[in-house]
């Protein structure tokens, strides 16, 4: 197997993993601190992507479009939290599933009403070409941008959680919500902001992945489940766990899709290999999660103290 292909696929896996992390970060905090199952988290990713596609078309600038979409999704996330989700924190998981499933229906169809079933979103022309990373290794410039933005946001988020007062309050909430509230933290208000940040991160992922995948209604549904897998592997409520889990899942998924196919081709007929590769890769992520849960039922980095 050519080494350059492996390097390229590792970069792709890392890039996908970082985008999954952006989705999983908000999800794990809502799940960990508020004990809330939010199935509509993937819808925020979709809303962000649609807003970005719309604003990029309107302004003609990719950067302006993405920044605008992130700001709007941040506001939308806070409004959603304050308007609907907040009343669900005290309810059981079943009510949360029903309510957020209803939100998926509303947001999917609502997006369709406003923007139609899909919107075109292209990578900026300046980044259309490849960059030579190593002698002989051409890597698409746009994918490199995603990688850089993803890494930068991961570092930023780590600083926010580990080094700021807001982060300390969030960690306190994740570790023991009742105690944090007893010590005078206004968990409700804190959470509106945290939810908004989670929504904004979803928008970043949606906007950046938009040109690679497709901006269409329902785009959040499959990636949402992967985000759940990430946070279960990482440990519910842990940002660090979400990062590690996301990179592992991104690697397993991407490497499985391409490299596994190469391996299978060695001893299977080609049409079987090309059919079995993606299936194994999709399933591998879930097998991985089942194994992690069997060995460490609380995930890799349990947040609850």
Residue from 7, 82, 110, 160 touching other proteins (CB under 8 A): that is: 110
Check: CB of residue 74 under 8 Å from CB of residue 199.
yes
Residue from 67, 71, 84, 213 touching other proteins (CB under 8 A): that is: 84
Check: CB of residue 147 under 8 Å from CB of residue 250.
no
d(CA 240, CA 21): 10
Dihedral, 182, 187, 190, 194 alpha carbons, nearest 10: 130
**Taking the complex as a whole, how short is the minimal distance between the CB of residue 55 and other proteins, in angstroms?**
23
Q: Check residue 117 for interaction with other proteins (CB under 8 A).
A: no
Residue 61 or 87 with smaller CB distance to other proteins:
87
Residue from 199, 229, 246, 303 touching other proteins (CB under 8 A): that is: 229
Q: Check residue 101 for interaction with other proteins (CB under 8 A).
A: yes
Helices (H) and strands (E) in the chain, counts: 11, 4
Binding mask 132-171 for other proteins (x = CB under 8 A): ----------------------------------------
d(CA 184, CA 182): 5
Residue with tokens 């489940």, as numbered in its chain: 225
Residue from 6, 97, 141, 151 touching other proteins (CB under 8 A): that is: 97
**Taking the complex as a whole, how short is the minimal distance between the CB of residue 131 and other proteins, in angstroms?**
33
Q: Check residue 289 for interaction with other proteins (CB under 8 A).
A: yes
Check: CB of residue 240 under 8 Å from CB of residue 234.
yes
Residue from 1, 5, 58, 102 touching other proteins (CB under 8 A): that is: 102
Q: Check residue 214 for interaction with other proteins (CB under 8 A).
A: no
Binding mask 8-37 for other proteins (x = CB under 8 A): -----------------------x-----x
Q: Check residue 279 for interaction with other proteins (CB under 8 A).
A: yes
Q: Check residue 221 for interaction with other proteins (CB under 8 A).
A: yes
Q: Check residue 228 for interaction with other proteins (CB under 8 A).
A: yes
Q: Check residue 182 for interaction with other proteins (CB under 8 A).
A: no
Residue 69 or 292 with smaller CB distance to other proteins:
292
Q: Check residue 94 for interaction with other proteins (CB under 8 A).
A: yes
Q: Check residue 90 for interaction with other proteins (CB under 8 A).
A: no
Question: Which residues of the shown chain bind other proteins in the complex (CB under 8 A)?
Answer: 31, 37, 39, 84, 87-88, 91-95, 97-99, 101-106, 108-110, 112-113, 221, 225, 228-229, 232, 236, 275-276, 278-279, 282-283, 286-287, 289-290, 293-294, 297
């Amino acid at each position: 197997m050519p080494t350059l292909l492996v390097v390229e696929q590792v970069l792709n896996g890392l890039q996908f993993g970082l985008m999954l992390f952006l989705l999983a970060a908000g999800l794990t905090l809502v799940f960990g601190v508020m004990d809330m199952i939010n199935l509509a988290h993937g819808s925020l990713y979709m809303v962000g992507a649609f807003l970005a596609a719309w604003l990029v078309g309107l302004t003609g600038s990719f950067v302006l479009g993405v920044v605008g979409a992130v700001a709007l999704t941040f506001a939308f996330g806070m409004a959603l939290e304050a308007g609907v989700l907040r009343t669900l924190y005290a309810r059981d998981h079943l009510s949360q599933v029903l309510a957020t499933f209803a939100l998926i229906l509303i947001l999917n169809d609502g997006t369709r009403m406003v923007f139609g079933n899909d919107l075109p979103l292209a990578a900026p022309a300046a980044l259309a070409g490849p960059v030579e990373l190593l002698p002989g290794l051409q890597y698409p410039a746009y994918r490199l941008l995603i990688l850089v933005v993803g890494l930068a946001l991961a570092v930023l988020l780590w600083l926010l959680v580990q080094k700021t007062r807001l982060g300390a309050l969030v960690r306190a909430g994740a570790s023991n919500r009742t105690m944090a509230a007893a010590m005078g933290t206004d968990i409700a208000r804190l959470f509106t902001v945290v939810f908004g940040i989670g929504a904004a991160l979803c928008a970043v992922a949606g906007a950046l992945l938009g040109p690679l995948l497709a901006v269409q209604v329902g785009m959040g549904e499959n990636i949402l489940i992967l985000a759940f897998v990430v946070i279960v592997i990482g440990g519910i409520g842990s940002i660090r766990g979400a990062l590690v889990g996301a990179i592992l899942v991104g690697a397993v998924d991407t490497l499985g899709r391409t490299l596994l196919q190469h391996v299978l081709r060695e001893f299977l007929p080609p049409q079987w290999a090309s059919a079995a590769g993606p299936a194994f890769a999709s399933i591998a992520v879930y097998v991985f999660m089942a194994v992690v849960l069997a060995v460490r039922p609380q995930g890799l980095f349990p947040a609850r103290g």
